Structure 1
């Protein structure tokens, strides 16, 4: 830790950093150690400082503390506490917004290639609701500063942690924080959400994701659908509208307060509370009932094999997978492929500007099937 090295930065990697390599050891051909570098861009020549790592580690972490040859995509960070040794909340404040989206697209494509064996052209789409990548985050958590510290415009009583640290940076004004809280309303439909309960933090996210899921699935009147990791019923509501009174929507949510609100928000849905894999297994104990459509919106870790295999056992004609982590998505797509379900389309959305996070909606159908 603390060593500095001059390097040419390599490609972007999953997690908000780029890959660099530094020589270690003596001799004419020293070994190269991978360093995951924040605050850099591919192709730049920088001085990096090692922030985590020992001689025996397979990789180190570092910050670009001096930029010797900048990328054309580098900009001055709008936030004064962004950068090395600053707030850890944003990864890409130093990157022009179109280039941020290109970096995220490269990461999604690389994860799909490496973990699922898929070659996919990825474009990350902007959504309405932010101000050039700022003022979009409708839910925010701070660390209280006691006592307050002096700031440029007066005392600052809150802050945010540094990257991978408990140390707090005073933050008078977080530039990605929205001027108002979340609005739980989509397409003229209101949703009850528990205090502190999950709801997408970007104002444009719910509408963008609903539209993408419905476009992918093309639900028809009379069809049956599973909404897994259903939350308070965002997708269930519009699936129920689409399949109509002759159709059926069964929703599964593990968080009890969200599951309770699901029944209130979407009265016609069949709500089930519990671990998704366990609920699906219990429902199949007597008979596996086929379904036409499935929506999967798992947490960051992904759905995993047990859930995927319960889904494919029901032989849906189409699955819409909403993913907040491209690595988890790729791993689950590989399991789907084992059972004959292929990726047909993939859309990616910039729901977290200035950070490395990206949301994807993937459509899977069984080999040989179609949506007509």
Structure 2
């Protein structure tokens, strides 16, 4: 019998699922080998299928294909396309994007809290006792759910992207794979996306589609990304077949240029009493309740802490279309000042349009580290909302040098967040409060809002 672990006979193993790890996996071991297992729950005994078992690799990856001893928190997956057991029974991997759909929502949130705590301990040296002493820390909050919710954890995505199968059907990628699997629903998306029924269209010639359906019910936008060599006439014909109520545009992924095909090249979002224009695939929080939730959490941290008041000098870094900038402008009034920095030229133009009525706001397009270097100044408070990679050591140093009284750090990645907290601590700062929000139910992602301040004397 062959002992090669990559032979078909050895691609299935029985393992005990261990602790949760960052990235949507749990840790299992087989003969000393670490295996990152998706679609399991800590404490279960399962049969797995190895999906990445390269010889000499430090660890392997696997999907659960059979549950031998189930957790009491296991539930029926709400989406057949993302259900690993069902998908592999039909001979193919599941689509990505709902890797925790087999776990009850309360357990999902406890697991996310464990991941956040583990990252803060490993990368910032914050132990469980210190974390327990932080206001708001220790749990991940549900967002936009109550006892009357018909389908809790579903219907929250106002933006989603789709790939195409070779035959031109709407599809999604399998995890860590170029394989595209056809889909006929997206249960995490709002009705405004599912009601378009894009899976009924012949989309040959299109490589990717991005869809935005604002939570305020305003006109959706469909962005078509043509495959190389697709003629403009073909793209125009596809656009003409889409529902008349939507705007349609063409997106050039190389340049980011958005070309109007029908209607507008942007969508109108609403949050905290302001309207925001967001062009093309410009950044906007995807959970329908996220903008209000995050603005509220940031204002609570800064305003209630006494760090934000009329006349303050503040900054919004990685500002996007100006969601937090608008809230800051309201708080400091015309006697204060707001520096709003965004790297994307298109998104920065949106911010200018969105905040043109606020004379206290200065919009600057450019990398945060370059702008801070070229425009050194002092601030009373800052909002930091970097991309998934985080701010990094150089930016953290620049922020500390600007001597603010407090920084509200909004993060979508616990690992980069914890790393940056470690950098702040090295410069004499500390976490003062921390809240986690489940803005991505049924996925491993979570959002955090933290307040950082300089350590006082004797700390």
**Shared fold (TM-score greater than 0.5)?**
yes
Aligned with 1:312: secondary structure? helix
Q: Which residue of 1 aligns with 2:413?
A: 325
1:192-271 alignment, distance < 5 Å: 192-218=277-303, 219-267=308-356, 268=358, 269-271=361-363
8 Å CA contact retained: 2:272, 2:295: no
Q: For 1:15 and 1:224, locate their aligned partners in 2 and report how far apart those are by CA, in whole Å.
A: 37
Aligned to 1:298: 386
Partner of 1:340: 428
C-alpha distance in structure 2 between counterparts of 1:331 and 1:178, whole Å: 34
User: What's the counterpart of residue 125 of structure 1?
Assistant: 141
The count of aligned residue pairs is: 349
Higher relative contact order, structure no. (Cα contacts within 8 Å, ≥ 6 residues apart) = 1
Q: Does 1:107 align with 2:120?
A: no
Whether contact under 8 Å (2:164, 2:180) holds in the other structure is no
1:4 maps to: 12
In the alignment, the residues of structure 1 paired with residue 277 and residue 391 of structure 2 have an alpha-carbon distance, to the nearest angstrom, of 25
How far the C-alpha of 1:16 sits from its partner, in A, is 0.4
Deviation at 1:55, TM superposition (A): 2.8
Match of 2:401 in 1: 313
In structure 1, C-alpha distance between the alignment counterparts of 2:432 and 2:373, rounded to whole Å: 27
In structure 2, how many angstroms separate the alpha carbons of the residues matched to 1:220 and 1:12?
41
Deviation, 1:71, is 0.4
3-state DSSP of counterpart to 2:294: helix
- SS of the equivalent of 2:152 reads coil
Please list, as runs of the form range in 1=range in 2, the aligned pairs for 1:1-372 lying within 5 A after superposition. 1=6, 2=8, 3-23=11-31, 32-84=32-84, 85-119=93-127, 120-121=131-132, 122-128=138-144, 131-145=151-165, 147=167, 157-180=169-192, 181-183=213-215, 184-218=269-303, 219-267=308-356, 268=358, 269-284=361-376, 289-368=377-456
Q: Partner of 1:260: helix, strand, or coil?
A: helix
**Alpha-carbon distance between aligned partners in 2 of 1:348 and 1:160, rounded to the nearest angstrom:** 28
Does the C-alpha gap of structure 1 residues 355 and 224 become closer, same or farther in structure 2, counting only changes over 3 Å? same
Tell me how far apart the structure 2 counterparts of residues 116 and 4 of structure 1 sit (CA, whole Å): 37
Provide Cα deviations, 1:121-160, integer angstroms capped at 9, x if missing partner.
4211111178411111111111234536xxxxxxxx3111
The unaligned stretches of length 5 or more in structure 2 are 1-5, 85-92, 133-137, 193-212, 216-268
Moved more, 124-133 or 338-347: 124-133
Contact (CA 8 Å) 1:182, 1:201: kept in 2 or not? no
CA distance in structure 1 between the partners assigned to 2:214 and 2:418 by the alignment: 30
| Contact 2:171–2:183 (CA under 8 A) maintained in structure 1 | yes
Name the TM-score, length of structure 1 as normaliser. 0.91
Shift of 1:48: 1.5
- CA–CA distance in structure 1, aligned partners of residues 399 and 315 of structure 2: 9
Moved more, 193-202 or 322-331: 193-202
Aligned mates of 1:146, 1:281 — CA distance in 2: 48
Q: Contact 1:301 / 1:328 at 8 angstroms: preserved in 2?
A: yes
